[in-house]
Structure 1
Amino acid sequence: MKKRSEVEHSSSDKLTIERLMGLGGQSARKSHYPELVAKLEELEEERNRYKSIFEHAQHGIFQARLDSGLVAANPALARICGYTDPQQLCRRVESFASGLLFDPHEYPLLLGKLKLYGKLFGYETRLLRQDGSAVDVSLNVLLKDDGQGSLMEAFVADITERKKAQDKLKKLNEELEQRVEDRTRELVSLNQQLVSEINERSSIEQALKEARDAAEQANKSKDKYLAAASHDLLQPLNAARLLVSTLQERELAEENNHLVERIHMALEGAEELLSDLLDISRLDQNAVQPDLTSIPLDYLFRMLQVEFQPVAEQRSVSLRVLSSGLNIYSDTRLLMRVLRNFLSNAFRYTPAGRVVLGARRRGDHLELQVWDTGPGIAEDKLEDIFREFQQIDHHYQTGRKGVGLGLAIVERIAGMLDHPIRVSSTPGKGTMFSVSVPISSEPVQPILQPQQMPQQDLSGRTVLVIDNEQDILVSMQALLEQWHCEVCMAIDPAEAIENYLSKGVKPQLILADYHLNNDATGVEAIDQVRRYAGYDIPAAIITADRSPEGRKLFRERQLPVLNKPVKPGKLRALISHLLQPPQQVAE
């Protein structure tokens, strides 16, 4: 007979379990029954959800006993293996080793790894399809014990496409390797050919080296060559130009005057072409270096007015110059080259009307403008005019036809000076060319303004000409004697002193070439003659040298310069200016 305490304890445990299971008293069972039903429904929904996932999964899923066939499989696995439904698959596969694996001999290896690790992930193998073919798959396998024995659960992914891609890639790699091998053989063959060629050329290596050294030397001396070419080629043109100018001033028969004028135009064309070719070559070779300084604009414009006023009168075109009191910062010679080209084109293409040279302020720059009332330029031609050997033909073009290099040189000079140029035109009304120049605030020493004056009588004036070219001496003598000057000719200062100064001749003016024999210069010749004469004889340099060093030297020595070929009008104006009596300064 149990003790009372044991009875009470047993009764207490029974009540607790019944309460937990909801199977207590009548009232307890009634109160927990809805919860039990809800739990059962929830479990059923969960089972159905897993069943749906199992049946609609993209990858194959199966369970299999190690010693028998498939326990369960989903439709995805049936599709992978070529069966219509999972039941057909499970019926046909009696053993995983022999019915599902394509290679039964692989089963011991798979089973050994599975028993060792308990699971396999990403295990690639091939499964047997219903038609006897193989399908490449990747398995994720778990091995567990469900109380009835070892159970294998697996997820199966069809990797056929991936295998095809891998095979294709492998094939491409093999083809690439073959191509690399073929190319390597070709390169080896080419290298052998190159070695053969190198061996064949070894005999001329020394000649190539000498040619290269000669080319480098020629490149280093290009500036000297250009300077020498400029001097040597312009010298005969200068002599011919002076002789033709002498003939032009003589009274000749009408038919002879016509011939002389044609010769003059031909020489002028050859001179311009040669000068332009040399200039554009020097600009392209960076052989021209700008000499920037402050320039009074009035001086610049006055120089251009003196030069072009006779041209305007000859062609019955009005020339108007509108200057200002400002100073600009530029290279005098190069800027004059730009403006001179603008003015020359304006007069060349303006048969009647006017040409205006002026300046407009644009902030801290001045835009120097040349306007004409010529025929104008079509808009589609505005860019072409700056190309080499490009020019616009007009039937009303006056004067000698150009060679089409002027504006190409202008564009290069403007780029070198960083002076933007601009052109605008209205066909039938005229054209405007301009160059923008920075304004200078630096003080400028007063410059004697060139005066436009009637031609001065040079009769009896003694002019000493020093030049090492005999043709130049003869030409200068003919022209100066045409102006009734007393001409003394010498090839160097020693000859001038011996033949003239030592015999009491007192030159009133010296015109000296810059490059003389034995590397002597005209500046040195002027100094020697002045020292022997004992007084400061007015002098000027006539040269084909356009180097920055030469211009700097002439400016420092305050020697006026005329570049060869010399224009007779400029020469006479310079002589007249130098032979003027000194100006008296009012006190």
Structure 2
Amino acid sequence: MKKPSDEQASDYGIGDLLGFGSQSVRKNYYPALQDRIEELEQERNRYKWLFENALHGVFQGNLRAGFLACNPAMAKICGYDSPEELKHRVIRLREQLFCSSSEFDDLRQELLDRGSLSARETRLRRADSAPVHVAITLLRRPDLGPEVVEAFVADITERVQSREKLVQMNANLERRVDERTAALQQANSGLHYQIEEREKAERGLVVAVQAAQDANRSKDKYLAAASHDLLQPLNAARLMISALQESQLPAEEGRMVQQVHRALEGAEDLLADLLDISKLDQQAMVPDLVMTDAAVLIKGLGEEFEAIAANAQLDFRIRTIPAMIKIDQRMLTRIIRNLLSNAFRYTPNGRVLLAMRARRNALRIEVWDTGVGIEGSKLDEIFTEFHQLLPQGTGGRQGAGLGLAIVERMVRVLECKMDVVSRPGRGSRFALVLPMDVSDEQHTMKPSVGTAQTFAQGFVGAKILVIDNDFSVLESMKLLLERWDCSVVTAPGEEAARAYLEQADELPVAILADYHLDYDQTGSDAIHAIRKMLGRNIPAALITADHSAETRQLMRDQELPILNKPVKPNRLRALLSSLLASG
């Protein structure tokens, strides 16, 4: 409500402005003007209320002096009890309000040049001399004075603190990546001194180490680009070591070969884990769903781990049931293999069971063990990267802690379910639940690579043609196959293979070809050219370090089985058995 004095003052000022006496105004000779004066007074009161109750600081000041007016929020930002105290205490904005005189001078000059500034970050000095981070918007008021400004001030201390924490977190992350890169470099340095083709492997590892150091900028791109170059020397080394393991060696040399085998196996597993986790995080791994005989796949996986079980003196059993499911065979194989690896790794004695169980419209694949078990509070943690159930140095071969992280991501990609039950000291049970359409049982499928039964009678006299542009791989493959009593012919490409076959007295019974050959040629092209030349559909398969879904689909369209590098002897033996059986 307006005071009478205010009304009189307003009437007096307006009357003088219009050239009439106040007497005429009070007598309301101009009722419309009186109404307008009341509206202006109400508007002035509204703006005054907003000014005094605004959440942000608002002030009017002289850049060469102090405050002309300020609201309570501005006083609170600066640490004063009232706007009057702030105006009384701060008489020079440059020296007393701003923490940096140089920042004030820069703001003042830009404001004079442009007329306004919007949301500039700076620091103001509080009553206790502590700095406060603010975002300030300034507007010149030359109508009130040459350096009079109006300002809006927001306290952004929390925003600045959050930004500083984020910078620190990024710095910590970069440090952790550097530490892991250094650890990988150290592991690689110890590896390449133990393999026979030392110089070539060393060059490949130097490339990998250099790429790892650049991982701060692009870890995923590095892993995708380096995979083929790393898998090539690893493949040659694994084949060579496998051949040595099947030779009659003195006890000491045999122990050394076994140590090299374990080192290569660890490097191979780590590389495969890193590649898979990278693809999964990029959402670049698309499921390739095909009809699969789950029982055959499970039996093939079980055969891989029989030797591990025998060496660890564990009771390993497999229980299967007939079941056809539509699934990505590679992802399913990887999930079960990772679960089995963990079961054997953390079971010092007792039993491991791999079982299939039918449920309504679903198939359960379960891995049971009598190992160390997992505490209930840590069940969610085991699926995170670099997490291990036991600390290093507690016995057994340790992994990188990526196996279950890969399992969790692949289960998510396949839109399946995984549940875990475990008791410390008693063991664990991991169950993969796969949807199974009843109509799937009516489908049939051809056995896929890796699910064929092992050729029990050996390969005596079987002539095998091996095509690969890497001479170390050719030598290693020849040495291993000859240990299996095969007759092996090697060629670096299609032209050399055809030249040999034109003069050969005996044709090969199977062809094993690398996918990427020299001069942009492919192994599939070489296989088709040889079959056309001989007029025979000789059984053949591709061996490649290319794990892409596009390559697998292309080879499926051409009905050529694939075996991925690095080649494991038991999978190669199963593949060769399948080829000879189909011939």
Deviates more, 1:410-419 or 1:312-321: 312-321
Instruction: After superposition, give the CA deviation of every residue in 1:17-48 in whole Å (9 maximum; x if it has no partner).
Output: xxxxxxxxxxxxxxxxxxxxxxxxxxxxxxxx
Offset, 1:345: 0.8
Partner of 1:420: 417
| Residues 223, 287 of structure 1: 8 Å contact kept | no
The alignment's C-alpha RMSD in Å is 4.4
Q: Percent identity?
A: 43
Moved >6 Å (runs of 4+): 118-123, 161-172, 176-184, 189-192, 221-225, 394-398
Q: Does 1:560 pair with 2:561? A: yes
> Which of 328, 344, 360 does residue 325 from structure 2 map onto?
328
Which residue among 259, 262, 265 is the counterpart of 2:256? 259
Matches within 5 A, 1:3-22: none
Deviations 1:445-496 (A, max 9, x none): 2434946557433222211100000110111111112222211010112211
Which residues in structure 2 correspond to 1:241-256 (within 5 Å)? 241-256=238-253
CA distance in 2, matches of 1:277, 1:390: 14
From the superposition, tell whether residues 117 and 445 of structure 1 become closer, same or farther in structure 2 (CA, over 3 Å): same
Q: How many residues align?
A: 426
Match of 1:112 among 9, 21, 24: 24
Q: In terms of mean alpha carbon deviation, does 109-118 or 453-462 score higher?
A: 109-118
Contact (CA 8 Å) 2:469, 2:493: kept in 1 or not? yes
Taking the aligned partners of 2:234 and 2:49, their CA distance within structure 1 comes to: 82
**Matched residues in 2 for 1:122 and 1:376: separation?**
88
Q: How far, CA to CA, are the matches of 1:222 and 1:169 in structure 2?
A: 52
Name the structure 1 match of 2:108: 185
* 1:578 aligned residue: 579
Asked if 1 retains the 8 angstrom alpha-carbon contact of 2:273 and 2:403, the reply is: yes
- For residues 399-418 of structure 1, the aligned pairs below 5 Å read 400-418=397-415
Q: Which residue of 1 aligns with 2:519?
A: 518
Q: Is the 8 A contact 1:351 1:398 kept in 2?
A: no
Structure 1 residues 529-564: Cα deviation after superposition (integer angstroms, max 9, x where no partner): 222223222212111111112111222333222111
- The match for 1:383 is 380
* In structure 1, C-alpha distance between the alignment counterparts of 2:323 and 2:541, rounded to whole Å: 29
Please list every run of 5 or more consecutive structure 2 residues that lacks an aligned counterpart in the other structure.
Answer: 39-44, 62-66, 75-92, 94-103, 118-217
Deviation at 1:408, TM superposition (A): 1.6
Cα distance change on mapping 1:403 and 1:456 into 2, 3 Å: farther
1:281 correspondence with 2:204: no
Tell me the secondary structure at the aligned position of residue 517 of structure 1: coil
1-structure distance, mates of 2:567, 2:471: 16
TM-score (norm 1): 0.63
Q: In structure 2, do the counterparts of structure 1 residues 164 and 59 end up closer, same or farther at CA, with 3 Å as the change threshold?
A: closer
Distance 1:482 1:166 in 2: 91
Query: In the alignment, residue 512 of structure 1 is paired with which amino acid?
Result: A
Change (3 A) 1:448 1:162: closer
| Mapped partners of 2:347, 2:397: distance in 1 | 13
Distance (whole Å) between structure 1 residues aligned to residue 382 and residue 47 of structure 2: 69
Task: Please say if residues 223 and 274 of structure 2, whose CA atoms lie closer than 8 Å, have aligned partners that are also in contact.
Answer: no
Distance change (3 Å), C-alpha of 1:493 and 1:417: same
Write the letter of the residue equivalent to 1:533: L
Give 1:191 deviation, angstroms.
Answer: 8.4
The one of 269, 272, 284 equivalent to 1:272 is 269
1:465 aligns with 2:466: yes
1:305-344 correspondence to structure 2 within 5 Å: 305-344=302-341
Q: 1:365 to 1:434 in 2, by over 3 A?
A: same
Amino acid at match of 1:520: Q
- Cα 1:503/1:248, change in 2 over 3 Å: same
CA contact 1:295–1:444 (8 Å) conserved in 2: no
2:450 is equivalent to residue 538 of structure 1: no
Amino acid of the structure 2 residue aligned with 1:543: T
Change (3 A) 1:224 1:492: farther
The residue matched to 1:546 in structure 2 has which SS?
coil
- Whole-angstrom CA distance in 1 between matches of 2:22 and 2:112: 52
Matched with 1:483 is 484
Larger Rg: 1
Q: Is 1:348 the equivalent of 2:345? A: yes
Structure 1 unaligned spans of 5+: 1-57, 61-76, 81-96, 126-137, 139-160, 195-220, 583-587
Q: Does 1:502 align with 2:503?
A: yes
Residues 305 and 120 of structure 1, relative CA distance in 2, 3 Å threshold? closer
Q: Is the 8 A contact 2:245 2:254 kept in 1?
A: yes
| Residues 259-289 of structure 1: per-residue CA shift (max 9 Å, x gap) | 1111111111111111211222222223322
Query: Counterparts of 1:46-61 in structure 2 under 5 Å?
Result: none
User: How big is the shift at 1:391?
Assistant: 1.1
Q: Give distance in 1, aligned partners of 2:284 and 2:24.
A: 89
> What is residue 445 of structure 1 aligned with on the other side?
444
CA contact (8 A) 2:292 2:445 kept: no
TM-score (ref. length: structure 2): 0.63
Q: Give how far 1:523 is off.
A: 1.2
- Offset, 1:113: 3.4
1:141 corresponds to: none
Answer whether contact 1:515 1:521 (CA < 8 A) is retained: yes
Q: Quick one: distance in 1 between partners of 2:486 and 2:53?
A: 99
SS of 1:229 mapped into structure 2: helix
Given the superposition, is the C-alpha separation of residues 102 and 534 from structure 1 closer, same or farther in structure 2, using an over 3 Å criterion? closer
C-alpha contact (below 8 Å) 2:28/2:34 kept by paired residues: no
- The change in CA–CA distance for 1:468 and 1:172 in structure 2 (over 3 A counts) is closer
For 1:551, what is the secondary structure of its paired residue?
helix
